[in-house]
């Protein structure tokens, strides 16, 4: 996703170093420090995991074991087989005369502690061995073999009765280190369809030289790190791809997540902000206690939860050469920072007896006070947030002058950042246009309307719509998406709104108003703000976003076709890109590696020889559909095999990335690795996660389903495409590109994606016809600036984009046929994935655009359910 641009543009400046016996010094230092960081982090988290009961036995189980041993000894039983008496005999004579039973109790405590520790270690070892099993990856969808069912039963037995978010954390296996020969062979296979024969032969020669000369030494050092550190990739990935990047975060690193597809549950901006902040802070409390169920992959494999620890109270602090992530405890972060029309506020989220979380109605009252405050922003602070969108070195120099500012401490120490903004477009804009404007506003804003360093920016618009802008260094999209889906479900279906659109509850007349932050901006900082603002506005203007709700079919249709849903979309994207640009390109598809400890992502390369053969067949009108379908099956099988390899730690790009870093540390220049680093990702793709489908009911209430998010393009002449399966009958695409590029157009590419999806679906003969736009064998891209390309909006024939039976065909609020006044909520009978704190089995309200009177649509309290 957005990481593709960071990975393609990072630069490593280490100097040339000294050849000779000191070659290994820098590399060994980097490997050693990585291992020390891993062990320090593990030891710091061990105490918290024990107190939370996430080991999988907590401190309470140890106390119970001690009480059981003491009780058994009281009734003249010795479960220790004499060990307690032996320990007692070897203990010093501490207070034996005054407290005769003290030594016996101490000996029992020592025995209980040792037995408890041995049991926990045994559980961890057994779980770690069980979690190494990879057979579940090759299981056909919907069926489980006997070995996999047995494995799953054993995992559930050894993980305890109620596993929590961090139960499996210390038992996850480490990311395996692939062989260099296997990685190089897979890399050459991935670039073969993109290179002429002469270039491929030259690259193959470089690869052979690399395997014989540099690879053994580089792999040896990398193997040492894989043995010494918890993950041989993730710390270097965070350090060199994100924290050492000096480019702007705006549109290049940060990404966005939208709320519902075409509805807002209330038109009141303050009310929506109150419910959202309350739900997010409540999620933070449950996260701190580790009470949530662990995330799993396909409901089978537990995933690493390390990224959740930095979700809140985290800021990226700029530096001249490298940034750092600063995280504070929840007890020091009982507020959110708010930006409205250039003014900054500190809004306390806790108060009253015991410092409890304020109610949504009181939070709404505080937000309304900010909206009603007539005081204008001072010129020195109005555009101050643009500095966070500046190149990192410039922002670091300016921040050094602001370091003594109390306002800066409030912003960086906040749980998260809240942006109150006007609606990005006119209120009578078409839903399609409004979605595009919302997406672009969330991604880039106005250039000075986001504090991009904060881990989370909650953006609430005047019409009640909202979304997130997320900083990328601390986590990948599945983690904030997990939180966001829970917040949306709690916002609408649990907390709800009164008949007049306000949060439920009563205002507090004694609640203190938010504190206006006063900035004292030095002259050198004031001089840097206009420069940063000009660059940020240029970046914002140069970013184009398009949201395409594809409502013709979804995951249910791909299941009928017996094709992996992600493979179906990726092959359609290859076909769409060929029709848009007239050729193939290196394609980036993000795939998670969180099945391993501290795993983040790996790259799948969907542009394969099989996919290229399928696309050429689709463009050849002479070939029958049967032959095209056979090529589709082969390409889909290849894509699925690549995904399995990436999920199991056998990918290509992260291994080559680490080999490149080691070659620079030594230094040991490698022409082959330099060639790999020079690649450009013209098409960057990612599937938005849907971790909690049981929270929503997309079949009956398509308006109230999280529609995913998007990111900027990885290349200035390329596209960024994110997609999310919304239930069984819809796929939503988020497309981005650069306006300044003469080769790209987000709306035109969206039309090509829609046509490609329909043309691929028509091969199966299941009732979905081909597109009415570009047909197989049709013309490829035309320059958008020449007047011959598809305009941004209608198709080349001047007709609107083809509409399926999806959200844009629904009647407007209060219009004829709207079910909102008569249809109540219903529960979703199925669904899988970890439950949200909003409770299982929650579904969305009735379909149709937004009606903010949810008095009759709010759900009953969540019902209890047994864990998965």
Long-range contact set of residues 759-765: C-beta below 8 Å, sequence gap at least 24: 759/575, 759/618, 760/568, 760/571, 760/572, 760/575, 760/618, 760/632, 761/552, 761/553, 761/557, 761/561, 762/625, 763/625, 763/628, 763/629, 763/632, 764/560, 764/561, 764/629, 765/625
- C-alpha to C-alpha distance for 831 and 840, rounded to whole angstroms: 9
Q: Which of 472, 502, 552, 734 is catalytic?
A: 472
CA nearest to 844, candidates 695, 709, 666, 711: 695
- C-alpha to C-alpha distance for 503 and 270, rounded to whole angstroms: 9
* Helical segments of 192-268, H only: 197-212, 215-228, 234-236
Contacts of 502 (CB under 8 A, 6+ apart): 266, 268, 271, 361, 364
Instruction: Report the first-to-last Cα separation within the chain, whole angstroms.
Output: 30
340 is catalytic: no
On whether the CB atoms of residues 838 and 862 are closer than 8 A, the answer is: yes
The helix-helix angle for 392-402 and 523-541 (nearest 10°) equals: 150
CA nearest to 714, candidates 685, 752, 750: 685
- C-alpha to C-alpha distance for 540 and 446, rounded to whole angstroms: 7
Contacts of 191 (CB under 8 A, 6+ apart): 200, 203, 586
On whether the CB atoms of residues 706 and 258 are closer than 8 A, the answer is: yes
CA nearest to 813, candidates 785, 853, 782, 755: 853
Structure token pair of residue 502: 């306000």
- Helix (H) / strand (E) element for 591: namely strand 587-592
Bridge partners of 709?
Answer: 257
3-class DSSP state of 723: strand
- C-alpha to C-alpha distance for 868 and 161, rounded to whole angstroms: 10
For CA atoms 526, 527, 530, 534, the dihedral sign is negative
Can the peptide bond before residue 211 be classed as cis, meaning omega within 30 degrees of 0? no
- C-alpha to C-alpha distance for 315 and 283, rounded to whole angstroms: 19
CA nearest to 606, candidates 644, 573, 633, 582: 573
* Catalytically annotated residues: 472
């Amino acid at each position: 996703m957005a990481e593709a641009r960071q990975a393609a543009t990072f630069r490593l400046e280490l100097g040339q170093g000294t050849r000779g016996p000191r070659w290994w010094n820098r590399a060994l230092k980097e490997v050693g420090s990585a291992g020390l960081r891993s062990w320090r982090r593990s030891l710091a988290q061990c105490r918290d995991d024990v107190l939370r009961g996430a080991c999988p036995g907590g401190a309470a189980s140890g106390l119970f074991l001690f009480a059981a041993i003491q009780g058994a000894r009281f009734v003249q039983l010795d479960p220790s087989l004499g060990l307690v008496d032996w320990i007692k005999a070897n203990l010093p004579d501490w207070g034996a005369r005054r407290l005769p039973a003290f030594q016996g109790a101490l000996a029992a405590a020592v025995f209980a502690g040792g037995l408890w520790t041995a049991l926990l270690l045994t559980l961890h070892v057994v779980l770690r061995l069980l979690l190494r099993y990879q057979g579940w990856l090759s299981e056909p969808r919907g069926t489980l073999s006997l070995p996999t069912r047995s494995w799953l039963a054993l995992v559930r037995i050894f993980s305890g009765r109620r596993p929590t978010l961090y139960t499996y954390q210390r038992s996850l296996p480490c990311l395996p280190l692939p062989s260099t020969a296997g990685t190089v062979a897979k890399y050459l296979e991935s670039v073969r369809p993109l290179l002429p024969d002469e270039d491929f032969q030259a690259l193959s020669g470089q690869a052979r030289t690399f395997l014989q000369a540099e690879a053994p030494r580089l792999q040896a050092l990398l193997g040492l790190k894989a043995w010494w550190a918890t993950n041989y990739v993730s710390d270097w990935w965070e350090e060199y791809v994100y924290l050492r990047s000096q480019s702007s975060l705006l549109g290049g690193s940060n990404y966005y997540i939208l709320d519902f597809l075409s509805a807002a549950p209330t038109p009141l901006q303050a009310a929506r902000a109150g419910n959202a902040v309350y739900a997010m802070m409540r999620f933070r409390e449950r996260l701190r206690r580790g009470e949530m169920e662990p995330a799993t992959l396909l409901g089978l494999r537990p995933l690493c939860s390390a990224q959740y620890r930095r979700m809140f109270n985290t800021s990226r602090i700029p530096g001249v050469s490298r940034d750092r992530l600063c995280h504070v405890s929840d007890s020091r972060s009982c507020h959110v920072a708010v930006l409205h029309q250039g003014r900054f506020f500190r809004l306390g989220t806790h108060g009253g007896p015991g410092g409890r979380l304020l109610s949504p109605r009181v939070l709404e009252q505080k937000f309304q006070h900010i909206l009603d405050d007539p005081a204008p922003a001072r010129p020195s602070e109005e555009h101050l947030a643009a500095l966070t969108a500046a190149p990192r070195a410039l922002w670091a120099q300016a921040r050094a002058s602001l370091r003594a500012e109390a306002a800066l401490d409030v912003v960086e120490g906040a749980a998260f950042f809240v942006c109150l903004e006007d609606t990005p477009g006119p209120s009578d804009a078409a839903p399609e246009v409004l979605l595009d404007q919302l997406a672009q506003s969330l991604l880039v804003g106005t250039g000075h309307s986001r504090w991009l360093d904060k881990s989370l920016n909650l953006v609430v618009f005047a019409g009640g719509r909202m979304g997130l802008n997320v900083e990328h260094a601390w986590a990948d999209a599945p983690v904030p998406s997990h939180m966001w889906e829970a917040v949306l479900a709690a916002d609408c279906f649990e907390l709800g709104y009164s008949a007049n659109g306000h949060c439920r509850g009563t205002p507090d007349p004694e609640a203190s108003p938010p504190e206006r932050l006063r900035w004292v901006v030095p002259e050198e900082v004031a001089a840097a703000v206009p420069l940063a603002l000009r660059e940020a506005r240029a970046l914002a203007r140069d970013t184009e976003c398009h949201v395409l709700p594809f409502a013709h079919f979804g995951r249910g249709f791909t299941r009928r076709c017996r094709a992996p849903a992600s493979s179906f979309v990726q092959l359609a994207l290859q076909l769409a890109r060929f029709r848009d640009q007239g050729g193939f390109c290196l394609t980036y598809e993000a795939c998670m590696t969180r099945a391993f400890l501290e795993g983040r992502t790996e790259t799948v390369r969907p542009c394969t020889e099989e996919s290229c053969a399928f696309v050429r067949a689709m463009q050849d009108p002479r070939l029958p559909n049967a032959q095209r379908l056979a090529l589709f099956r082969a390409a889909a099988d290849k894509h699925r095999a690549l995904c399995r390899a990436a999920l199991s730690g056998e990918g290509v790009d992260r291994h080559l990335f680490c080999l490149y870093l080691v070659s620079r540390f030594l230094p040991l220049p490698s022409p082959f690795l330099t060639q790999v680093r020079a690649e450009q990702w013209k098409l960057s793709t990612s599937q938005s996660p849907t971790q909690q489908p049981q929270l929503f009911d997309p079949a009956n209430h398509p308006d109230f389903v999280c529609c995913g998010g998007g990111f900027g393009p990885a290349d200035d002449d390329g596209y960024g495409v994110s997609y999310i399966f919304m239930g069984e009958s819809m796929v939503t695409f988020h497309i981005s590109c650069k306006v300044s590029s003469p080769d790209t157009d987000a709306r035109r590419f969206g039309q090509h994606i829609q046509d490609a999806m329909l043309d691929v679906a028509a091969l199966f003969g299941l009732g979905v016809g081909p597109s009415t736009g570009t047909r197989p064998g049709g013309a490829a891209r035309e320059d958008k600036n020449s007047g011959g390309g598809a305009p941004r909006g209608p198709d080349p024939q001047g007709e609107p984009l083809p509409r399926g039976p999806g959200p844009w065909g629904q009647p407007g609020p209060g219009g004829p046929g709207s079910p909102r006044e008569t249809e109540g909520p219903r529960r979703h009978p199925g669904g899988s994935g970890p439950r949200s704190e909003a409770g299982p089995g929650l579904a969305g309200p009735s379909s149709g655009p937004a009606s903010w009177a949810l008095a009759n649509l709010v759900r009953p309290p969540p019902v209890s359910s047994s864990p998965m």
